Amino acid sequence: MTIRSRFPIFEKKVYLNSCSQGALSIDVKNAYAAYMQDWDEKGSPWEYWVERMEAARGAFAGLVNAEMDEIAVTTSVSAGVSALASAFDFTGERNKIVISDFEFPTVAQVWHAQEQRGAQIVHVPAAGNAIPISRFADAIDEQTAIVSITNICFRNGARMDVPAIIELAHKKGALVLLDSYQGLGTFPIDVKKLKVDFLVGGVLKYLLASAGLAYLYVRKDLINDLNPTTMGWFSQANIFAMDIYANTPSPTARRFESGTPPVPNIYAAVAGIKLIQSVGVEKIEKHIRELTGAIKEGAMRRGFNLVSPINPDQHGALITLRSHKVDLLVKRLEKDNVITSSRDNNLRISPHIYNNMRDIDCLLDCLTKHRELLV
């Protein structure tokens, strides 16, 4: 069975919206059925379900070249970043948080919430579809506690120069959080090579699972010095101790976890990640580059306004086109059985390993049909 045939939606639609939600595979559908069967047959097998959670932790770790003890399994990026933020003290000299203007709202909102705890928030502004490194150099100083950046901008698909930003931050003694949500699953991410301190992301987009599960990587030599106050019983050293008289955080990144995990989503996450691993991220990256290259070439040849950078090294799997009536365009494409999405005034087109050149040809034909909404 080919990878494409594992996604039934392609029998009737052209699905190009992986930046919002990965297409549903028969593997993930069967994973949810397996959860229901386990629940029905075993009753309440919490020890087994914890083992499934450890399988998800191991899958996350394998994707980013981390150790299992460096991974916290969370319900969302919001939960992971909130737990991380709660472990910082912003009352001292290092009270500055530097965030880029390409961040997803939840990350920026969590950091702005820390202003109540003494944090000073500094935004690094964009210059069109990029943020020059010089602007990070101007923003990061000896008062910076953490720099929060995204791999790929969710609005325009622009790819950040992550290694250069990490180097700038570390020279000033600041830590770095990388949001990999729009990247992981489409190109390799190695936390050791990047020397990044923290990394977050989730499974519902390019990792081909569903909402309800995310991950937080914490570099192991930082864990013991970070004591979150946003936590739960799964953050304890012994989750089955049920101790109401003390808080005993796990010595691992599990201390950033919370309460009862969403067990069904764990089944789905493992299934989705196995699909990614069965193909290989390097192969996926090559395939997506071919597809996004065809989208860019076809769009520019037709006179459409490309918002994403032209250089393939400067954008991710997400390609954006300007539209003066983007909501209407998305609806018209949907009527033509082409599924996309939008942010700001940009049409977002995000292929994955299951797409092929016929999908791109169909997309371009439909865009030409509705060109009055694009030019």
Q: Please, which residues bridge with residue 201 across strands? A: 215
- For residue 69, give the CATH number of its domain: 3.40.640.10
Q: Please, which residues bridge with residue 346 across strands? A: 322, 343
DSSP category for residue 340: -
Instruction: Give pLDDT, residue 268.
Output: 98
Last residue of a domain, one of 241, 258, 276: 276
Q: How large is the average pLDDT for residues 67-96?
A: 97
> What's the token pair of residue 44?
């309440």
Instruction: Tell me what the pLDDT averaged over the chain comes to.
Output: 97
341-343, strands of its sheet edge to edge: 319-322, 346-349, 341-343
Q: Write out the E strands in 70-143.
A: 71-74, 96-100, 120-124
The answer to whether residues 242 and 191 belong to one domain is yes
pLDDT level of residue 32 (50, 70, 90 thresholds): very high
The answer to whether residues 238 and 163 belong to one domain is yes
Distance between CA atoms of residues 100 and 30, nearest Å: 39
Distance between CA atoms of residues 67 and 58, nearest Å: 8
Q: How large is the average pLDDT for residues 47-67?
A: 96
Nearest to 300 by CA among 372, 370, 368: 368
Distance between CA atoms of residues 31 and 267, nearest Å: 5
- Structurally, the chain folds into a number of domains equal to 2
Upper half-sphere CA count for residue 13 (Cβ side, 13 Å): 15
Distance between CA atoms of residues 330 and 363, nearest Å: 12
| Nearby residues of 153 by Cβ (< 8 Å), 6 or more positions away | 102, 159, 160, 182
The answer to whether residues 71 and 128 belong to one domain is yes
The answer to whether residues 36 and 20 belong to one domain is no
The answer to whether residues 54 and 158 belong to one domain is yes
pTM of the model: 0.96
Q: Judge whether 282 and 269 are in contact, CB under 8 Å.
A: no
The answer to whether residues 19 and 35 belong to one domain is no
The answer to whether residues 263 and 290 belong to one domain is no
Instruction: Give pLDDT, residue 154.
Output: 97
SS3 percent helix, strand, coil of the chain, rounded to 5, is: 45, 15, 40
pLDDT in tens, 162-184: 999 999 999 999 999 999 999 99
Distance between CA atoms of residues 94 and 148, nearest Å: 15
The answer to whether residues 272 and 288 belong to one domain is no
Nearest to 232 by CA among 263, 258, 260: 258
Distance between CA atoms of residues 3 and 351, nearest Å: 14
Instruction: Give pLDDT, residue 269.
Output: 97
Give the SS3 label for residue 8.
Answer: helix
The residue type of 35 is Y
Last residue of a domain, one of 246, 276, 306: 276
The answer to whether residues 36 and 146 belong to one domain is yes
- For residue 297, give the CATH number of its domain: 3.90.1150.10
Last residue of a domain, one of 240, 256, 276: 276
pLDDT level of residue 10 (50, 70, 90 thresholds): very high
DSSP category for residue 375: -
The answer to whether residues 189 and 338 belong to one domain is no
- Range of 358's domain? 4-24+280-373
pLDDT level of residue 375 (50, 70, 90 thresholds): confident
Residue 365 clears pLDDT 90, i.e. is over it: yes
> What's the token pair of residue 264?
């069904």
pLDDT in tens, 98-128: 999 999 999 999 999 999 999 999 999 999 9
Instruction: Give pLDDT, residue 150.
Output: 98
Q: How large is the average pLDDT for residues 132-138?
A: 97
Instruction: Give pLDDT, residue 44.
Output: 92
The answer to whether residues 34 and 12 belong to one domain is no
Q: Range with the lowest mean pLDDT among 21-30, 194-203, 230-239, 356-365?
A: 230-239
Q: Please, which residues bridge with residue 80 across strands? A: none
The answer to whether residues 192 and 226 belong to one domain is yes
pLDDT level of residue 360 (50, 70, 90 thresholds): very high
Instruction: Give pLDDT, residue 1.
Output: 78
**Could you write out the DSSP letters of every residue in 30-55?**
HHHHHHHHHHHHHSS-HHHHHHHHHH
